Protein backbone atom coordinates (compact mmCIF):
# COMPACT_ATOMS: atom_id res chain seq x y z
CA UNK A 1 0.00 0.00 0.00
CA UNK A 2 2.91 2.34 0.63
CA UNK A 3 4.78 1.54 -2.59
CA UNK A 4 2.70 3.91 -4.81
CA UNK A 5 3.65 6.85 -2.57
CA UNK A 6 7.33 5.94 -2.77
CA UNK A 7 7.10 5.50 -6.53
CA UNK A 8 5.39 8.87 -6.97
CA UNK A 9 8.53 10.52 -5.55
CA UNK A 10 10.97 7.97 -6.98
CA UNK A 11 13.48 10.68 -8.05
CA UNK A 12 13.59 12.01 -4.47
CA UNK A 13 13.90 8.48 -3.11
CA UNK A 14 16.80 7.58 -5.44
CA UNK A 15 18.63 10.85 -4.77
CA UNK A 16 18.09 10.35 -1.02
CA UNK A 17 19.53 6.83 -1.32
CA UNK A 18 22.48 8.34 -3.21
CA UNK A 19 23.11 10.74 -0.34
CA UNK A 20 22.77 7.81 2.06
CA UNK A 21 25.47 5.83 0.25
CA UNK A 22 27.72 8.91 0.11
CA UNK A 23 27.26 9.46 3.86
CA UNK A 24 28.16 5.85 4.65
CA UNK A 25 31.21 5.90 2.37
CA UNK A 26 32.39 9.06 4.13
CA UNK A 27 31.66 7.45 7.49
CA UNK A 28 33.79 4.38 6.75
CA UNK A 29 36.49 6.58 5.18
CA UNK A 30 36.99 8.41 8.49
CA UNK A 31 38.70 5.48 10.34
CA UNK A 32 40.88 4.75 7.28
CA UNK A 33 42.18 8.33 7.23
CA UNK A 34 42.49 8.30 11.02
CA UNK A 35 44.76 5.20 10.76
CA UNK A 36 47.06 7.01 8.35
CA UNK A 37 47.10 10.11 10.57
CA UNK A 38 48.07 8.03 13.62
CA UNK A 39 50.72 6.08 11.69
CA UNK A 40 52.31 9.26 10.30
CA UNK A 41 52.19 11.36 13.45
CA UNK A 42 55.23 10.12 15.39
CA UNK A 43 57.91 12.10 17.21
CA UNK A 44 60.39 11.83 14.30
CA UNK A 45 58.06 12.81 11.44
CA UNK A 46 56.31 15.47 13.50
CA UNK A 47 59.54 17.47 13.60
CA UNK A 48 59.52 17.57 9.79
CA UNK A 49 55.80 18.16 8.90
CA UNK A 50 52.34 17.42 10.15
CA UNK A 51 50.18 15.34 7.76
CA UNK A 52 48.06 18.45 7.01
CA UNK A 53 46.33 16.95 3.95
CA UNK A 54 45.27 13.88 5.94
CA UNK A 55 43.97 16.04 8.78
CA UNK A 56 41.98 18.14 6.32
CA UNK A 57 40.66 14.97 4.68
CA UNK A 58 39.68 13.63 8.10
CA UNK A 59 37.72 16.80 8.89
CA UNK A 60 36.12 16.87 5.42
CA UNK A 61 34.94 13.25 5.71
CA UNK A 62 33.51 13.90 9.18
CA UNK A 63 31.57 16.88 7.82
CA UNK A 64 30.53 15.05 4.64
CA UNK A 65 28.98 12.15 6.57
CA UNK A 66 26.78 14.58 8.52
CA UNK A 67 26.02 16.79 5.49
CA UNK A 68 24.89 13.90 3.26
CA UNK A 69 22.80 12.42 6.08
CA UNK A 70 20.98 15.74 6.57
CA UNK A 71 20.46 16.22 2.82
CA UNK A 72 19.01 12.71 2.71
CA UNK A 73 16.53 13.59 5.49
CA UNK A 74 15.51 16.90 3.88
CA UNK A 75 14.80 15.18 0.58
CA UNK A 76 12.90 12.25 2.04
CA UNK A 77 10.67 14.13 4.50
CA UNK A 78 8.34 15.17 1.67
CA UNK A 79 7.87 11.52 0.68
CA UNK A 80 7.04 10.48 4.25
CA UNK A 81 4.65 13.35 4.97
CA UNK A 82 2.84 12.95 1.64
CA UNK A 83 2.34 9.23 2.32
CA UNK A 84 0.95 10.01 5.79
CA UNK A 85 -1.38 12.64 4.34
CA UNK A 86 -2.65 10.40 1.53
CA UNK A 87 -3.25 7.36 3.73
CA UNK A 88 -4.92 9.39 6.49
CA UNK A 89 -7.21 11.00 3.90
CA UNK A 90 -8.04 7.61 2.38
CA UNK A 91 -8.97 6.21 5.81
CA UNK A 92 -10.98 9.33 6.65
CA UNK A 93 -12.96 9.11 3.41
CA UNK A 94 -13.53 5.39 3.87
CA UNK A 95 -14.87 5.89 7.40
CA UNK A 96 -17.40 8.37 6.03
CA UNK A 97 -18.43 5.84 3.41
CA UNK A 98 -19.22 3.13 5.97
CA UNK A 99 -22.76 2.47 7.10
CA UNK A 100 -24.48 3.92 10.13
CA UNK A 101 -24.38 0.44 11.67
CA UNK A 102 -20.54 0.55 11.78
CA UNK A 103 -20.52 3.98 13.41
CA UNK A 104 -23.09 2.98 16.00
CA UNK A 105 -20.89 0.02 17.02
CA UNK A 106 -17.51 1.77 17.04
CA UNK A 107 -15.66 3.35 19.97
CA UNK A 108 -14.54 6.78 18.80
CA UNK A 109 -11.64 7.16 21.24
CA UNK A 110 -10.08 3.79 20.46
CA UNK A 111 -10.55 4.21 16.71
CA UNK A 112 -8.98 7.69 16.61
CA UNK A 113 -6.02 6.40 18.61
CA UNK A 114 -5.61 3.53 16.11
CA UNK A 115 -5.59 6.02 13.23
CA UNK A 116 -3.15 8.29 15.07
CA UNK A 117 -0.76 5.40 15.75
CA UNK A 118 -1.20 4.07 12.22
CA UNK A 119 -0.21 7.34 10.53
CA UNK A 120 2.71 7.70 12.92
CA UNK A 121 3.64 4.11 12.05
CA UNK A 122 3.97 5.08 8.37
CA UNK A 123 6.55 7.71 9.27
CA UNK A 124 8.40 5.27 11.54
CA UNK A 125 8.36 2.43 9.03
CA UNK A 126 9.56 4.49 6.08
CA UNK A 127 12.22 6.30 8.09
CA UNK A 128 13.64 3.18 9.74
CA UNK A 129 13.47 0.97 6.66
CA UNK A 130 15.21 3.54 4.46
CA UNK A 131 17.49 5.20 7.01
CA UNK A 132 18.25 2.47 9.53
CA UNK A 133 18.01 -1.00 8.01
CA UNK A 134 19.58 -0.16 4.64
CA UNK A 135 22.41 1.93 6.23
CA UNK A 136 23.26 -0.84 8.72
CA UNK A 137 23.45 -3.41 5.90
CA UNK A 138 25.54 -1.04 3.78
CA UNK A 139 27.86 -0.10 6.64
CA UNK A 140 28.32 -3.72 7.66
CA UNK A 141 29.27 -4.60 4.09
CA UNK A 142 31.82 -1.77 3.92
CA UNK A 143 33.35 -2.61 7.33
CA UNK A 144 33.52 -6.28 6.38
CA UNK A 145 35.29 -5.38 3.13
CA UNK A 146 37.91 -3.31 5.00
CA UNK A 147 38.49 -6.05 7.60
CA UNK A 148 38.91 -8.74 4.93
CA UNK A 149 41.22 -6.53 2.85
CA UNK A 150 43.50 -5.29 5.64
CA UNK A 151 43.51 -8.01 8.33
CA UNK A 152 43.72 -11.78 8.63
CA UNK A 153 40.71 -14.10 8.69
CA UNK A 154 40.27 -13.97 12.50
CA UNK A 155 39.10 -10.33 12.46
CA UNK A 156 36.15 -10.73 10.05
CA UNK A 157 35.34 -14.14 11.63
CA UNK A 158 34.95 -12.65 15.12
CA UNK A 159 33.01 -9.69 13.69
CA UNK A 160 30.60 -11.87 11.67
CA UNK A 161 30.02 -14.26 14.59
CA UNK A 162 29.35 -11.38 16.98
CA UNK A 163 26.98 -9.64 14.57
CA UNK A 164 25.07 -12.88 13.90
CA UNK A 165 24.74 -13.60 17.63
CA UNK A 166 23.78 -9.95 18.26
CA UNK A 167 21.03 -10.00 15.61
CA UNK A 168 19.67 -13.38 16.76
CA UNK A 169 19.54 -12.28 20.40
CA UNK A 170 17.94 -8.95 19.45
CA UNK A 171 15.22 -10.53 17.32
CA UNK A 172 14.32 -13.16 19.92
CA UNK A 173 14.06 -10.68 22.80
CA UNK A 174 12.28 -8.09 20.65
CA UNK A 175 9.63 -10.64 19.58
CA UNK A 176 8.93 -11.26 23.26
CA UNK A 177 8.80 -7.51 23.91
CA UNK A 178 6.40 -6.89 21.00
CA UNK A 179 3.69 -9.00 22.63
CA UNK A 180 4.06 -6.90 25.78
CA UNK A 181 3.92 -3.69 23.73
CA UNK A 182 0.87 -4.89 21.79
CA UNK A 183 -0.96 -5.54 25.07
CA UNK A 184 0.08 -2.10 26.35
CA UNK A 185 -1.30 -0.47 23.18
CA UNK A 186 -4.63 -2.25 23.54
CA UNK A 187 -4.90 -1.05 27.14
CA UNK A 188 -3.92 2.47 26.06
CA UNK A 189 -6.72 2.50 23.44
CA UNK A 190 -9.21 1.23 26.01
CA UNK A 191 -8.23 3.93 28.50
CA UNK A 192 -8.47 6.60 25.80
CA UNK A 193 -11.88 5.36 24.64
CA UNK A 194 -13.21 5.42 28.21
CA UNK A 195 -11.90 8.94 28.80
CA UNK A 196 -13.41 10.36 25.60
CA UNK A 197 -16.73 8.56 26.13
CA UNK A 198 -16.95 9.94 29.67
CA UNK A 199 -16.10 13.50 28.61
CA UNK A 200 -18.57 13.41 25.70
CA UNK A 201 -21.24 12.46 28.23
CA UNK A 202 -20.17 15.12 30.74
CA UNK A 203 -23.74 16.16 31.58
CA UNK A 204 -24.87 12.60 32.24
CA UNK A 205 -21.92 12.08 34.57
CA UNK A 206 -22.93 15.22 36.46
CA UNK A 207 -26.62 14.28 36.58
CA UNK A 208 -25.79 11.15 38.57
CA UNK A 209 -22.77 12.54 40.50
CA UNK A 210 -20.66 9.77 39.04
CA UNK A 211 -17.37 11.66 38.74
CA UNK A 212 -15.60 9.28 41.12
CA UNK A 213 -17.14 6.25 39.44
CA UNK A 214 -15.81 7.46 36.06
CA UNK A 215 -12.42 8.28 37.60
CA UNK A 216 -12.21 4.76 39.06
CA UNK A 217 -13.08 3.17 35.70
CA UNK A 218 -10.46 5.33 33.97
CA UNK A 219 -7.90 4.52 36.67
CA UNK A 220 -8.55 0.78 36.27
CA UNK A 221 -7.56 1.09 32.61
CA UNK A 222 -4.56 3.27 33.46
CA UNK A 223 -3.45 0.81 36.15
CA UNK A 224 -3.46 -2.09 33.68
CA UNK A 225 -1.58 0.06 31.17
CA UNK A 226 0.92 1.06 33.86
CA UNK A 227 1.67 -2.61 34.63
CA UNK A 228 2.15 -3.42 30.95
CA UNK A 229 4.33 -0.31 30.41
CA UNK A 230 6.57 -1.16 33.39
CA UNK A 231 6.98 -4.71 32.07
CA UNK A 232 7.82 -3.29 28.65
CA UNK A 233 10.54 -1.03 30.08
CA UNK A 234 11.98 -3.86 32.22
CA UNK A 235 12.23 -6.07 29.16
CA UNK A 236 14.07 -3.24 27.39
CA UNK A 237 16.71 -3.44 30.15
CA UNK A 238 17.20 -7.14 29.45
CA UNK A 239 17.65 -6.37 25.75
CA UNK A 240 20.17 -3.57 26.34
CA UNK A 241 22.27 -5.56 28.82
CA UNK A 242 22.44 -8.59 26.52
CA UNK A 243 23.38 -6.46 23.50
CA UNK A 244 26.09 -4.64 25.46
CA UNK A 245 27.57 -7.94 26.68
CA UNK A 246 27.86 -9.33 23.12
CA UNK A 247 29.43 -6.07 21.87
CA UNK A 248 31.85 -5.91 24.83
CA UNK A 249 33.06 -9.49 24.31
CA UNK A 250 33.51 -8.97 20.55
CA UNK A 251 35.35 -5.65 20.91
CA UNK A 252 37.62 -7.08 23.63
CA UNK A 253 38.49 -10.09 21.46
CA UNK A 254 39.25 -7.93 18.41
CA UNK A 255 41.30 -5.42 20.39
CA UNK A 256 43.27 -8.34 21.86
CA UNK A 257 43.98 -9.63 18.35
CA UNK A 258 44.99 -6.13 17.20
CA UNK A 259 47.23 -5.62 20.26
CA UNK A 260 48.87 -8.98 19.58
CA UNK A 261 49.54 -7.88 16.01
CA UNK A 262 51.11 -4.61 17.21
CA UNK A 263 53.34 -6.53 19.61
CA UNK A 264 54.40 -8.85 16.76
CA UNK A 265 54.89 -5.76 14.55
CA UNK A 266 52.56 -7.23 11.91
CA UNK A 267 50.14 -4.37 12.66
CA UNK A 268 50.68 -0.70 13.43
CA UNK A 269 49.19 1.52 16.13
CA UNK A 270 47.06 2.97 13.33
CA UNK A 271 45.65 -0.51 12.65
CA UNK A 272 44.69 -0.81 16.31
CA UNK A 273 42.89 2.56 16.09
CA UNK A 274 41.28 1.52 12.78
CA UNK A 275 39.84 -1.70 14.23
CA UNK A 276 38.49 0.15 17.25
CA UNK A 277 36.96 2.95 15.13
CA UNK A 278 35.40 0.52 12.63
CA UNK A 279 33.80 -1.54 15.37
CA UNK A 280 32.43 1.54 17.12
CA UNK A 281 30.94 2.75 13.83
CA UNK A 282 29.42 -0.67 13.20
CA UNK A 283 28.05 -1.32 16.67
CA UNK A 284 26.55 2.14 17.25
CA UNK A 285 23.87 1.58 14.56
CA UNK A 286 23.63 -2.10 15.54
CA UNK A 287 22.95 -0.97 19.10
CA UNK A 288 19.71 0.56 17.81
CA UNK A 289 18.76 -2.58 15.90
CA UNK A 290 16.49 -3.87 18.66
CA UNK A 291 14.71 -0.55 18.86
CA UNK A 292 14.51 -0.30 15.07
CA UNK A 293 13.20 -3.85 14.69
CA UNK A 294 10.71 -3.32 17.50
CA UNK A 295 9.52 -0.02 16.04
CA UNK A 296 9.18 -1.48 12.56
CA UNK A 297 7.19 -4.44 13.89
CA UNK A 298 5.10 -2.10 16.03
CA UNK A 299 4.56 0.20 13.05
CA UNK A 300 3.33 -2.75 11.02
CA UNK A 301 0.94 -3.71 13.84
CA UNK A 302 -0.30 -0.13 14.18
CA UNK A 303 -0.66 0.27 10.42
CA UNK A 304 -2.43 -3.07 10.20
CA UNK A 305 -5.06 -1.82 12.66
CA UNK A 306 -5.54 1.33 10.61
CA UNK A 307 -5.58 -0.48 7.26
CA UNK A 308 -8.05 -2.97 8.70
CA UNK A 309 -10.47 -0.06 8.84
CA UNK A 310 -10.08 0.16 5.06
CA UNK A 311 -11.11 -3.50 4.85
CA UNK A 312 -14.39 -2.76 6.59
CA UNK A 313 -16.98 -3.52 3.94
CA UNK A 314 -19.26 -0.75 2.85
CA UNK A 315 -22.62 -2.14 3.79
CA UNK A 316 -24.22 0.51 1.60
CA UNK A 317 -22.31 1.19 -1.62
CA UNK A 318 -23.12 2.67 -5.00
CA UNK A 319 -24.04 -0.08 -7.43
CA UNK A 320 -22.00 -0.41 -10.63
CA UNK A 321 -23.42 2.00 -13.17
CA UNK A 322 -25.26 4.08 -10.57
CA UNK A 323 -26.49 7.34 -12.07
CA UNK A 324 -27.12 10.73 -10.45
CA UNK A 325 -30.66 11.38 -9.27
CA UNK A 326 -32.24 14.13 -11.36
CA UNK A 327 -35.63 15.24 -10.11
CA UNK A 328 -37.57 18.47 -9.83
CA UNK A 329 -40.82 17.16 -8.35
CA UNK A 330 -39.91 13.86 -6.69
CA UNK A 331 -42.53 11.16 -6.22
CA UNK A 332 -41.55 8.66 -3.50
CA UNK A 333 -42.84 5.11 -3.14
CA UNK A 334 -42.15 2.50 -0.45
CA UNK A 335 -43.06 -0.85 -2.03
CA UNK A 336 -43.53 -3.81 0.34
CA UNK A 337 -40.52 -2.81 2.42
CA UNK A 338 -39.19 -5.18 5.10
CA UNK A 339 -36.23 -4.18 7.24
CA UNK A 340 -34.22 -5.60 10.14
CA UNK A 341 -31.32 -4.03 12.01
CA UNK A 342 -30.55 -7.53 13.27
CA UNK A 343 -31.64 -10.87 11.87
CA UNK A 344 -33.73 -11.71 14.95
CA UNK A 345 -35.35 -8.30 15.27
CA UNK A 346 -37.45 -7.16 12.31
CA UNK A 347 -38.45 -3.48 12.42
CA UNK A 348 -40.64 -2.99 9.33
CA UNK A 349 -43.14 -5.43 7.86
CA UNK A 350 -44.51 -5.13 4.31
CA UNK A 351 -44.58 -1.32 4.46
CA UNK A 352 -46.09 0.33 1.39
CA UNK A 353 -47.05 3.96 0.85
CA UNK A 354 -46.29 6.84 -1.47
CA UNK A 355 -45.64 10.54 -1.18
CA UNK A 356 -46.85 12.39 -4.26
CA UNK A 357 -44.82 15.18 -5.79
CA UNK A 358 -45.17 18.27 -3.62
CA UNK A 359 -47.31 16.41 -1.07
CA UNK A 360 -46.79 15.90 2.67
CA UNK A 361 -47.11 12.52 4.36
CA UNK A 362 -46.91 12.34 8.13
CA UNK A 363 -45.96 9.25 10.12
CA UNK A 364 -47.08 8.90 13.74
CA UNK A 365 -47.00 6.12 16.27
CA UNK A 366 -45.64 5.04 19.60
CA UNK A 367 -41.87 4.96 20.28
CA UNK A 368 -40.22 1.97 18.63
CA UNK A 369 -42.91 1.58 16.00
CA UNK A 370 -40.42 2.16 13.14
CA UNK A 371 -41.10 5.82 12.29
CA UNK A 372 -37.51 7.09 12.20
CA UNK A 373 -36.38 3.96 10.38
CA UNK A 374 -38.32 5.16 7.34
CA UNK A 375 -36.18 8.31 7.19
CA UNK A 376 -32.94 6.31 7.57
CA UNK A 377 -33.96 4.01 4.72
CA UNK A 378 -34.93 6.92 2.48
CA UNK A 379 -31.55 8.51 3.19
CA UNK A 380 -30.04 5.09 2.44
CA UNK A 381 -28.14 4.83 5.69
CA UNK A 382 -29.27 1.21 5.39
CA UNK A 383 -30.60 -0.84 2.50
CA UNK A 384 -33.99 -2.49 2.76
CA UNK A 385 -34.08 -6.21 3.57
CA UNK A 386 -36.87 -6.78 1.07
CA UNK A 387 -39.00 -4.67 -1.24
CA UNK A 388 -37.75 -1.36 -2.63
CA UNK A 389 -37.91 2.41 -2.33
CA UNK A 390 -38.25 4.46 -5.51
CA UNK A 391 -38.08 8.13 -6.44
CA UNK A 392 -39.80 8.93 -9.74
CA UNK A 393 -39.87 5.18 -10.41
CA UNK A 394 -36.11 4.69 -9.95
CA UNK A 395 -34.92 2.38 -7.19
CA UNK A 396 -32.77 4.50 -4.88
CA UNK A 397 -30.15 1.71 -4.94
CA UNK A 398 -29.60 2.51 -8.64
CA UNK A 399 -28.67 6.17 -8.06
CA UNK A 400 -25.54 7.61 -6.45
CA UNK A 401 -25.72 8.19 -2.73
CA UNK A 402 -24.28 11.68 -3.10
CA UNK A 403 -27.05 12.81 -5.47
CA UNK A 404 -29.74 11.07 -3.38
CA UNK A 405 -28.69 12.75 -0.14
CA UNK A 406 -28.13 16.02 -1.98
CA UNK A 407 -31.83 16.03 -2.87
CA UNK A 408 -32.95 15.50 0.73
CA UNK A 409 -32.94 17.95 3.62
CA UNK A 410 -33.55 16.73 7.16
CA UNK A 411 -34.31 18.29 10.52
CA UNK A 412 -33.52 15.44 12.93
CA UNK A 413 -34.98 14.86 16.36
CA UNK A 414 -31.56 14.89 18.02
CA UNK A 415 -29.57 17.74 16.53
CA UNK A 416 -25.81 17.39 16.99
CA UNK A 417 -23.74 20.42 15.98
CA UNK A 418 -20.06 20.83 15.20
CA UNK A 419 -17.90 22.50 17.82
CA UNK A 420 -17.66 25.65 15.70
CA UNK A 421 -19.54 28.89 15.12
CA UNK A 422 -23.27 29.26 14.54
CA UNK A 423 -22.43 30.63 11.09
CA UNK A 424 -20.44 27.48 10.26
CA UNK A 425 -23.18 25.16 11.50
CA UNK A 426 -25.92 26.84 9.48
CA UNK A 427 -23.69 27.23 6.42
CA UNK A 428 -22.93 23.51 6.62
CA UNK A 429 -26.25 22.99 4.81
CA UNK A 430 -24.65 24.60 1.75
CA UNK A 431 -20.97 25.48 2.30
CA UNK A 432 -20.94 27.78 -0.76
CA UNK A 433 -23.77 29.95 0.62
CA UNK A 434 -23.04 33.62 1.30
CA UNK A 435 -23.39 35.13 4.81
CA UNK A 436 -26.51 36.97 3.59
CA UNK A 437 -28.13 33.65 2.60
CA UNK A 438 -27.22 32.20 6.00
CA UNK A 439 -28.90 35.15 7.74
CA UNK A 440 -32.00 34.75 5.54
CA UNK A 441 -32.23 31.06 6.51
CA UNK A 442 -31.77 31.99 10.19
CA UNK A 443 -34.63 34.51 9.93
CA UNK A 444 -36.89 31.87 8.39
CA UNK A 445 -36.02 29.50 11.25
CA UNK A 446 -36.80 32.25 13.84
CA UNK A 447 -33.29 32.17 15.33
CA UNK A 448 -31.80 35.35 13.84
CA UNK A 449 -32.99 37.60 16.69
CA UNK A 450 -31.56 35.22 19.28
CA UNK A 451 -28.19 35.11 17.50
CA UNK A 452 -27.98 38.92 17.56
CA UNK A 453 -28.26 38.86 21.37
CA UNK A 454 -25.04 36.82 21.64
CA UNK A 455 -21.76 38.70 22.25
CA UNK A 456 -20.14 37.31 19.08
CA UNK A 457 -23.40 36.97 17.14
CA UNK A 458 -22.94 34.57 14.21
CA UNK A 459 -19.32 33.94 15.23
CA UNK A 460 -20.42 32.51 18.60
CA UNK A 461 -19.20 28.95 19.15
CA UNK A 462 -21.78 26.32 20.06
CA UNK A 463 -19.49 24.00 22.06
CA UNK A 464 -18.98 20.24 21.82
CA UNK A 465 -22.08 18.71 20.14
CA UNK A 466 -23.79 22.13 20.51
CA UNK A 467 -24.00 21.92 24.31
CA UNK A 468 -23.84 25.71 24.71
CA UNK A 469 -27.27 25.99 23.08
CA UNK A 470 -30.60 24.85 24.44
CA UNK A 471 -32.52 22.05 22.75
CA UNK A 472 -34.84 24.52 21.05
CA UNK A 473 -31.97 26.70 19.83
CA UNK A 474 -30.17 23.69 18.39
CA UNK A 475 -33.38 22.66 16.66
CA UNK A 476 -33.73 26.08 15.06
CA UNK A 477 -30.14 25.91 13.82
CA UNK A 478 -30.97 22.54 12.26
CA UNK A 479 -34.05 24.00 10.59
CA UNK A 480 -32.02 26.94 9.23
CA UNK A 481 -29.40 24.49 7.94
CA UNK A 482 -32.05 22.44 6.13
CA UNK A 483 -33.64 25.57 4.66
CA UNK A 484 -30.28 26.76 3.36
CA UNK A 485 -29.76 23.45 1.58
CA UNK A 486 -32.97 24.13 -0.39
CA UNK A 487 -33.69 20.43 -1.07
CA UNK A 488 -36.40 18.87 -3.25
CA UNK A 489 -37.34 16.43 -0.48
CA UNK A 490 -37.78 17.38 3.16
CA UNK A 491 -37.76 15.12 6.21
CA UNK A 492 -38.91 16.48 9.56
CA UNK A 493 -38.05 13.91 12.23
CA UNK A 494 -39.74 15.24 15.40
CA UNK A 495 -38.56 18.66 14.18
CA UNK A 496 -40.38 20.65 16.87
CA UNK A 497 -39.95 18.18 19.74
CA UNK A 498 -37.52 20.44 21.65
CA UNK A 499 -39.62 23.61 21.36
CA UNK A 500 -42.07 25.18 23.75
CA UNK A 501 -45.72 25.57 22.69
CA UNK A 502 -45.37 29.18 21.49
CA UNK A 503 -42.20 28.50 19.50
CA UNK A 504 -43.65 25.25 18.20
CA UNK A 505 -46.60 27.05 16.64
CA UNK A 506 -44.36 29.69 15.05
CA UNK A 507 -41.90 27.12 13.72
CA UNK A 508 -44.66 24.77 12.59
CA UNK A 509 -46.22 27.55 10.52
CA UNK A 510 -42.78 28.18 8.97
CA UNK A 511 -42.26 24.47 8.29
CA UNK A 512 -45.66 24.30 6.62
CA UNK A 513 -44.70 27.29 4.47
CA UNK A 514 -41.31 25.92 3.35
CA UNK A 515 -42.71 22.44 2.70
CA UNK A 516 -45.20 23.82 0.17
CA UNK A 517 -44.31 22.47 -3.26
CA UNK A 518 -41.74 20.05 -1.78
CA UNK A 519 -42.18 16.34 -1.25
CA UNK A 520 -42.21 16.06 2.54
CA UNK A 521 -42.04 13.21 5.03
CA UNK A 522 -42.93 14.33 8.55
CA UNK A 523 -42.27 12.06 11.51
CA UNK A 524 -44.03 13.30 14.61
CA UNK A 525 -45.03 12.41 18.11
CA UNK A 526 -47.35 15.36 18.67
CA UNK A 527 -50.38 14.84 16.45
CA UNK A 528 -51.28 18.55 16.48
CA UNK A 529 -48.24 19.22 14.24
CA UNK A 530 -49.45 16.93 11.44
CA UNK A 531 -53.13 17.84 11.19
CA UNK A 532 -52.58 19.53 7.83
CA UNK A 533 -50.72 16.62 6.18
CA UNK A 534 -52.16 15.23 2.94
CA UNK A 535 -51.99 11.78 4.44
CA UNK A 536 -51.18 10.43 7.90
CA UNK A 537 -49.74 6.96 8.45
CA UNK A 538 -50.16 5.38 11.86
CA UNK A 539 -47.33 2.92 12.60
CA UNK A 540 -47.76 0.12 15.10
CA UNK A 541 -45.05 -2.51 15.71
CA UNK A 542 -43.49 -1.94 12.28
CA UNK A 543 -46.71 -2.05 10.29
CA UNK A 544 -49.00 0.64 8.93
CA UNK A 545 -52.07 0.20 11.09
CA UNK A 546 -54.09 3.11 9.69
CA UNK A 547 -53.81 5.72 6.97
CA UNK A 548 -55.85 8.73 5.94
CA UNK A 549 -56.38 12.45 6.60
CA UNK A 550 -56.69 13.81 10.14
CA UNK A 551 -60.51 14.02 10.14
CA UNK A 552 -60.91 10.60 8.50
CA UNK A 553 -58.75 8.95 11.13
CA UNK A 554 -60.60 10.62 13.99
CA UNK A 555 -63.93 9.50 12.54
CA UNK A 556 -62.61 5.95 12.21
CA UNK A 557 -62.18 5.82 16.00
CA UNK A 558 -59.08 3.62 15.81
CA UNK A 559 -55.54 3.90 17.15
CA UNK A 560 -55.06 7.45 15.87
CA UNK A 561 -58.26 8.61 17.60
CA UNK A 562 -57.06 7.04 20.85
CA UNK A 563 -53.68 8.79 20.59
CA UNK A 564 -55.42 12.09 19.80
CA UNK A 565 -57.73 11.80 22.80
CA UNK A 566 -54.82 10.95 25.08
CA UNK A 567 -52.75 13.93 23.92
CA UNK A 568 -55.72 16.25 24.30
CA UNK A 569 -56.11 15.08 27.90
CA UNK A 570 -52.42 15.70 28.54
CA UNK A 571 -52.67 19.21 27.05
CA UNK A 572 -55.72 19.98 29.18
CA UNK A 573 -53.92 18.74 32.28
CA UNK A 574 -50.99 21.16 31.80
CA UNK A 575 -53.14 24.13 30.81
CA UNK A 576 -53.42 26.54 33.81
> How far, in Å, CA of 194 to CA of 196, rounded?
6
Residue 209: CA atoms inside 13 Å, Cβ hemisphere, count?
0
CATH architecture of 414-486: 3-Layer(aba) Sandwich (3.40)
Q: Which pLDDT tens digit goes with each residue over 429-472?
A: 888 888 888 888 888 878 888 888 888 888 888 876 677 777 77
* Predicted confidence (pLDDT) at residue 520 exceeds the cutoff of 80: yes
319-356 per-position pLDDT tens digit: 788 888 887 788 888 888 888 877 777 888 888 888 88
d(CA 304, CA 185): 13
CA angle in degrees (0–180, nearest 5) for 481-485-491 = 75
Of the candidates 410, 407, 384, which has an alpha carbon nearest to the alpha carbon of residue 330? 407
Predicted confidence at residue 461, as pLDDT, reads 84
- 21 CB neighbour count, 10 Å cutoff: 15
Quick check: 498 pLDDT over 50? yes
Query: How far is the first Cα of the chain from the last one, in angstroms, to the nearest whole number?
Result: 69
Kindly tell me if the per-residue pLDDT of 112 is higher than 70: no
Contact call for residues 275 and 254 (beta carbons, < 8 A): yes
Averaged pLDDT of the chain: 77
Residue 371's pLDDT band (boundaries 50, 70, 90)?
confident
User: 466 in the Ramachandran plot: left (φ > 0), alpha (ψ -120 to 50) or beta?
Assistant: left
Given the candidates 3.30.70.920, 3.90.950.10, 3.40.50.300, 3.40.50.720, the CATH classification of the domain at 328-407+489-576 is 3.40.50.300
Kindly indicate the confidence band of residue 22, based on its pLDDT and cuts at 50, 70 and 90: confident
Residue 394 has pLDDT above 50, yes or no: yes
Residue 432: CB atoms within 10 Å: 6
DSSP 399: B
For 547, 553, 559, the CA distances from 556, given in Å and listed in that order, are 10, 5, 9
Return the closest-CA partner of residue 117 out of 308, 271, 268: 308
Output the pLDDT for position 495.
66
d(CA 546, CA 562): 12
- Categorize the per-residue pLDDT at 52 as very low, low, confident or very high, splitting at 50, 70 and 90: low
Same fold, 328-407+489-576 and 414-486: yes
**Domain map (residue ranges) of the chain:** 3-310, 328-407+489-576, 414-486
Q: Which of the 8 DSSP states describes residue 98?
A: S
State the pLDDT confidence band at 497, using cuts at 50, 70 and 90.
low
SS3 content of the chain, % helix, strand, coil (to 5): 65, 10, 20
Q: How would residue 49 be classed by pLDDT, with cut points 50, 70 and 90?
A: very low
Q: Which residues of 554-566 are buried (b: 16+ CB within 10 A; e: fewer)?
A: beeeebbeebbee
Dihedral, 476, 481, 484, 490 alpha carbons, nearest 10: -90
Rounded to whole angstroms, the Cα distance separating 338 from 346 reads 8
Beta bridge partners of 519: 489
| Tens digit of each residue's pLDDT (9 = 90 or more) over 239-250 | 778 877 887 788
Q: What is the CATH number of domain 3-310?
A: 1.20.1560.10
Q: Shortest CA distance to 141 belongs to which of 293, 243, 24, 251?
A: 24
- pTM of the shown model: 0.58
Task: Please report the pLDDT score of residue 2 as a whole number.
Answer: 66
Q: Is the per-residue pLDDT at 44 higher than 60? A: no
Amino acid sequence: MLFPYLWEYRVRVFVALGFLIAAKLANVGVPLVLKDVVDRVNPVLALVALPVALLLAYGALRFASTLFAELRDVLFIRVTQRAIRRVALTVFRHLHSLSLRFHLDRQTGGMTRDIERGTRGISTLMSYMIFSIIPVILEFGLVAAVLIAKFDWRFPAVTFAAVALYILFTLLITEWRIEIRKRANELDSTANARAIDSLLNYETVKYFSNEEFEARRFDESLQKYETAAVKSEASLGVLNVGQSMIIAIAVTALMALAAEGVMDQTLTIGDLVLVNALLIQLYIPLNHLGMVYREIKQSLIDMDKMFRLLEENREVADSPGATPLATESPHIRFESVDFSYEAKRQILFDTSFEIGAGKTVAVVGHSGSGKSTLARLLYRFYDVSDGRITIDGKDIRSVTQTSLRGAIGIVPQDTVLFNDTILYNIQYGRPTASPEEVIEAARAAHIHDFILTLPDKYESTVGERGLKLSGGEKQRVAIARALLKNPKILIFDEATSALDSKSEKAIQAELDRISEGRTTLTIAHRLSTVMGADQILVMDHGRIAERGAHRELLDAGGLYAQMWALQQQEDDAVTP
